[in-house]
Every structure is written in C-alpha cells, then in structure tokens.
Amino acid sequence: MPIVKYTSPDVDLMARMMRAEAVGEGKQGMLYVGNVIVNRAKADCLDFTDVRTIRDVIFQVQGGNYSFEAVQKGSLFYRRARSVEKRLAEKNLKFWRQYPAKYALWYFNPYAPCPPTWYGEPLTGRYKNHCYYEPAAGTCPSVY
C-alpha cells in the first residue's frame, strides 16, 4: 500500500523534482529528496496542513516563493523524467524511507557544516551536500 495516494503524472513530477534537486548525489540522494516530498504530503502540521498531493507539495508557495527552488530556477526540473528516476519516485511513494530523511520535512545545501537546528527544527543527518531536518519532538506526529 502506498504511503500517499498518487497518479502516473505524480510519479513523473516527483521524479523530475528528485533529479533537479539531487542528481549530483546519485540514486541515494534522490531517494532522500523523495522522502521529504512524501513526508510533506503525509504531514498534517506546521507549513504542510494544506498540501495533500504530490502536486500540492511540489508547487507549494511559502513566503512568496516556491518551496523547492528548482521550480523557479531549475532547468532540470522542466526536462522529461527518465525511467530510472520514475522507478525511484515509485519506490518512495510505495514504501522506501530511510535515515537521515526518513521523517524529514526539510533539507538544504549549506555549503558548510550542517547547523544543529534549522529554524528550530533538529538536524537528523547529512548526505553529501544536503542537511536533513525533521520536526521537533511532538510537533508533527502525522509524519512518523
């Protein structure tokens, strides 16, 4: 059973975002970005109370900007998804979750060591260039 409901266009959209955000980090890095996308669709807390679909997550606007920089600036995002990326997206949607992004709702590339918190949320770990953060204890039980 999938973690969140999805359609074929959702798989394509998610695959494109995973590639755009983490292609330089290989399949593992793309899977971690996929974890964050799925977790945001699953979460019913904090900034994610009004996003329920993959499309909602990818095109969410916060503070006047898209949540994912690749939507605005990423030429990779607007290219057709490849079959390997689609398989990775389906893997995330169906069951795959792993540390450090298992319950993460945020990630970013600090170009430096990962701060222990990011906007008050605790660091769960780093994979290559990205630092992953999950909600502080008790603030978002729906993501776990």
What are the tens digits of pLDDT across the range 23-48? 999 999 999 999 999 999 999 999 99
What are the tens digits of pLDDT across the range 101-134? 999 999 999 999 999 999 999 999 999 999 999 9
d(CA 98, CA 100): 6
Are 4 and 38 contacting, i.e. CB atoms less than 8 angstroms apart? yes
* 129 Ramachandran zone, left/alpha/beta (phi>0; psi -120 to 50): alpha
Position 133 scores a pLDDT of: 98
Residue 73 has pLDDT above 90, yes or no: no
Average pLDDT, rounded, for the chain: 95
Position 1 scores a pLDDT of: 72
Position 2 scores a pLDDT of: 81
Tokens 């109370």 identify what position? 49
How confident is the model over 73-98, as a mean pLDDT? 94
65 secondary structure, DSSP code: E
Return the percentage of the chain with pLDDT > 70, whole number.
Answer: 100
Higher confidence at residue 39 or residue 73? Answer: 39
Position 3 scores a pLDDT of: 85
pTM for this one?
Answer: 0.96
Domain map (residue ranges) of the chain: 8-138
Residue 75 has pLDDT above 90, yes or no: no
